[in-house]
Structure 1
Amino acid sequence: MAQENAFDEAVVSEPPFEVVIHTAKTQADWCPITVDQANESPANAYRASKTFAERAAWDFVEKEKPHFDLSVINPPLVLGPIAHNLASLSALNTSNQRIRDLITGAAKDRCPPTGNYLYVDVRDLALAHVLAIEKVEAGGKRFFTVSSHFSNKEIAQIIDHEFPEFRSRLPTGEALVPGDYPADGVYGFDSSRAREILGLEFRPLKESIVDAVNSLLAVEPEIHQS
């Protein structure tokens, strides 16, 4: 997708299509910023690449004035069940690796730090894309699709309550501390536009985690015996 003219044939259709949902982008090849320029942090370079990509889209609309609307869906960390084909949990996406490590015991001695304390369920995120298509008033707007705050400690506690068979593998006591919220609190968020214009009703964390665990067990049922 980073190659010149990569989308020439992809956007040719007869009869013409009405909608394009673009949910992927390159990072290293596209981003005009090096890791050294981003405080020597690959995470910062990744965030910068996403920012530049969105700015490029808005700049295109402003300059070219195409005969279509642009809507942008901005999610935080994405949790929830996996639906795509996955040969093994070693190929799991980064967001759900924390859940895998908790149910397999890999995080028993130390709950991983949460990092980003905002989440959205993957199904709510997918629905947001569809609703942005269906609702005329969504044109020309950005939507922050956030369900709520979360911590890895909360995820561990949900698994402990809903899947007692994994209780012996979960971190407890001081081992949970790294996955808790920071003592001085966390940042806020405003997803009111997604709720009011798109009409989204976000899933609670418990539903996201329970369904995610069940989807991981469907890929590797032997986790129950490991």
Structure 2
Amino acid sequence: MSRVLLTGGSGFIAAHVLDILLERGHSVVTTVRSQEKANKIKDAHPKYGKDKLDFAIVEDIAQEHAFDKAVVSDPPFEIVIHTASPFHFNVKDVQKELLDPAIIGTTGVLKSIAKSAPSVKRVVITSSFASIINPFEGDWPSHTYSEKDWNPINAEQAVENPAAGYRASKTFAEKAAWDFVEKEKPNFSLATMCPPLVLGPIVHYLNSLDGLNTSNQRIRDIMQGKAKEEIAPTGTYIWVDVRDLALCHVLAGEKEEAANKRFFITAGYFSNKEIAQIVGKNYPQYEDGLPTEKTPGGGYPEGGIYKWDNSRVKEVLGVKFRTLEESIVDTVKSLQAVGA
């Protein structure tokens, strides 16, 4: 089993990555922004001692040298899984709040590993479908997205609005990581994870209904009756369950064959209308607030939608994806546990 550094341990995806790492016998140090967050995670995993679960405080990942101390460990790290990066659209300054933390955070952790953690053999980075999709092509039904695609967004377009800023932050950060490995030829190989919309159960000790990850807010809103008159547009029509994505992160750290590969991790299509139907079918108590067959919105584009190719994930990592129904049923259950 390996010694693993997991960054951003209180995040939606990282919390599931942590569970899987511990279940598989790895020993983990996870970075958090505060001691309070560390205490919450520690209290939720009472059976693991300091030798199996420990913490490093990194208050601001956008600071130069932010990870210099965190990457040093005894016993030394063999795997680093870097999930820490902002995903929200509530920003005033795209450069400072989205682009800088993503890019500096990613290159910063790689520099720190190269300088101070020669034992690290693999770095896994959470990127996004945002770094694959071409937003200028719209629904693009003639195209099949795969790991070969890169978002062509440039620096000027990146600061136009928060949505463009988010997509650019993921694109530029991932490209910076690949450039670093190519130029610096460090002691480690790289694997990047590119998921689209990430749905699935929340880890209750880190969450409230108000502090939900952006992707799951649509499920909360449907449960709360906000889609009764009209269903919100789906936006991104492909998804993955957070538990499958977390397992992909861990396997990409463990498997030799994942070295220097990009992974486009999706279970397939979904729509907000389908989510509402699944909630209605499995949770009749919400029926009065849910949309009906006739409620407008939330479907697929009339002219069709891009296709996707997730064969590399299946072949190299061997992951079988959960169904949309399984994911939504489990997510609703987890939201109920925090008061939905």
Q: How far is 1:14 from its partner?
A: 2.2
1:182 to 283, 301, 314: 301
Query: Match for 1:106: what amino acid?
Result: K
Q: Is the Cα contact below 8 Å between 1:86 and 1:219 reproduced in 2?
A: no
Q: Which moved more, 1:70-79 or 1:102-111?
A: 102-111
Task: Output one character per residue of 1:58-96: Cα deviation in whole Å (capped at 9) or x when no partner.
Answer: 111011101111011110000010014245311111111
Query: Match for 2:326: what amino acid?
Result: E
Q: Is the Cα contact below 8 Å between 2:270 and 2:324 reproduced in 1?
A: yes
* 2:334 maps to 1:215: yes
The CA distance in 2 between the partners of 1:178 and 1:39, in whole Å, is 29
* 2:143 maps to 1:24: no
* 2:198 maps to 1:138: no
Aligned residue for 1:85, secondary structure, equals helix
Aligned match of 1:11 = 71
2:175 to 37, 55, 64: 55
Aligned match of 1:119 = 239
The CA distance in 1 between the partners of 2:332 and 2:169, in whole Å, is 31
The CA distance in 1 between the partners of 2:241 and 2:310, in whole Å, is 14
Q: How far is 1:15 from its partner?
A: 2.3
Aligned residue for 1:142, secondary structure, equals strand
The CA distance in 2 between the partners of 1:12 and 1:127, in whole Å, is 25
Distance 1:110 1:200, change over 3 A: same
Q: How far is 1:164 from its partner?
A: 1.1
Distance 1:34 1:84, change over 3 A: farther
Q: How far is 1:172 from its partner?
A: 1.7
Q: How far is 1:104 from its partner?
A: 1.1
Aligned residue for 2:307, secondary structure, equals coil
Q: Is the Cα contact below 8 Å between 1:119 and 1:150 reproduced in 2?
A: yes
Q: Is the Cα contact below 8 Å between 2:204 and 2:334 reproduced in 1?
A: no
* 2:128 maps to 1:68: no
Aligned residue for 1:70, secondary structure, equals strand
Structure 1: gaps spanning 5 or more residues = none
Query: Match for 2:212: what amino acid?
Result: L
Structure 2: gaps spanning 5 or more residues = 1-60, 87-97, 104-152
Task: Output one character per residue of 1:9-67: Cα deviation in whole Å (capped at 9) or x when no partner.
Answer: 01111221100000122524347899963483321121011010001111110111011
CA-atom RMSD in angstroms:
1.9
Q: Which moved more, 1:166-175 or 1:206-215?
A: 166-175
Aligned match of 1:150 = 270
Q: Which moved more, 1:10-19 or 1:188-197?
A: 10-19
- The higher relative CO (CA closer than 8 Å, separation ≥ 6) is in 1
Q: Is the Cα contact below 8 Å between 1:89 and 1:216 reproduced in 2?
A: yes
The CA distance in 1 between the partners of 2:204 and 2:80, in whole Å, is 20
Task: Output one character per residue of 1:153-203: Cα deviation in whole Å (capped at 9) or x when no partner.
Answer: 00001111111111111012442x310011111111111000000001000
Q: Identity percentage over the alignment?
A: 61
The CA distance in 1 between the partners of 2:76 and 2:301, in whole Å, is 51
Q: Is the Cα contact below 8 Å between 2:238 and 2:269 reproduced in 1?
A: yes
The CA distance in 2 between the partners of 1:140 and 1:158, in whole Å, is 38
* 2:165 maps to 1:45: yes
Q: Which has the higher strand share?
A: 2
Q: What is the TM-score when the length of structure 2 is the normalising length? A: 0.62
Aligned residue for 1:29, secondary structure, equals helix
The CA distance in 1 between the partners of 2:334 and 2:155, in whole Å, is 35
Structure 1 residue runs of 4 or more that deviate by more than 6 Å after TM superposition: 31-36
Q: Is the Cα contact below 8 Å between 2:154 and 2:168 reproduced in 1?
A: no
Aligned residue for 1:72, secondary structure, equals strand
Query: Match for 2:272: what amino acid?
Result: N
Query: Match for 1:89: what amino acid?
Result: L
